[in-house]
């Protein structure tokens, strides 16, 4: 079966750095997405990785290792507004998105 | 303003009633999707449409039907609602031409409660 694993919840301090991990087992791979979802709102696109390595976008970076079936989202200089759920999703061989359950990130002052 | 709209925002429905959730996008995306999101679970695909006139079943299609008469609209119908269909429903769309253009853009969601 297809499976996406990510921690259920993480807590971090304002101004710090946090890394949210995602491991996956899917039938084929056509890219990995990270989405941010604030409580009561729709998911919004953060990043897309299809090749191994690190993609940096301002305070957010996303890393992919296809051989290990592993990705992480790195958030730097955390702000209170970063409190949200972070969803990992893999595009499988049929171009269907397989979603993880999400990681709820709590930022404390 | 370009994007996806959904209606209604929320609804309380008696079990056994028929309900249609509406979704409209103005980005001319060819692919559209319906998901449900339940606490502790990832987004689960109900139905999808790769292009106008075609639809397909996702992971949890039972009890739901869709149609795609044109590019912009993708309604989801619950023929006879049951309490287990209580959820938040998200509509999404994408260009589906491969790689980063498969990024899905989501509507604001419909919170449905079936009693």
What is d(CA A6, CA B86) in angstroms, rounded to the nearest whole number?
25
Show residues of chain A in contact with B58, CB under 8 Å: 96
- Nearest chain B residue to A102 by CA distance is B42
The answer to whether B100 contacts chain A (CB < 8 Å) is: yes
- Cα A31 to Cα A26, A45, A52: the distances in Å are 11, 13, 10
Tens-level pLDDT at each residue, chain A (109 residues): 789 999 999 999 999 999 999 999 998 999 999 999 999 999 999 999 999 999 999 999 999 999 999 999 999 999 999 999 999 999 888 878 899 999 999 999 9
Nearest to A95 by CA among B48, B70, B68: B48
Show residues of chain A in contact with B106, CB under 8 Å: 42-44
């Amino acid at each position: 079966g297809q499976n996406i694993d990510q921690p259920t919840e993480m807590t971090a301090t304002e101004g710090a750095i946090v890394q949210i991990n995602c491991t996956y087992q899917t039938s084929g791979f056509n890219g990995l997405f990270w989405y941010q979802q604030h409580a009561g709102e729709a998911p919004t696109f953060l990043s897309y990785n299809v090749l191994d390595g690190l993609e940096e976008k301002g305070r957010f970076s996303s890393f992919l290792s296809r051989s290990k079936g592993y990705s992480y989202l790195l958030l730097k200089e955390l702000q209170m507004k970063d409190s949200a759920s972070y969803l990992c999703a893999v595009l499988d061989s049929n171009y269907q998105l397989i979603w993880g359950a999400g990681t709820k990130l709590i930022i404390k002052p | 303003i370009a994007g996806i709209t959904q209606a209604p925002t929320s609804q309380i429905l008696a079990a056994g009633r028929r309900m249609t959730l509406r979704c409209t996008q103005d980005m001319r995306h060819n692919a559209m999707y319906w998901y449900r999101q339940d606490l502790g679970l990832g987004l689960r695909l109900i139905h999808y449409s790769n292009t106008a006139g075609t639809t397909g079943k996702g992971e949890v299609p039972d009890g739901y039907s869709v149609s795609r008469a044109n590019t912009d609209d993708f309604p989801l119908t619950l023929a006879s609602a049951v309490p287990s269909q209580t959820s938040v429903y998200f509509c999404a769309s994408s260009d589906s031409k491969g790689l980063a253009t498969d990024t899905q853009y989501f509507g604001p969601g419909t919170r449905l409660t079936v009693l």
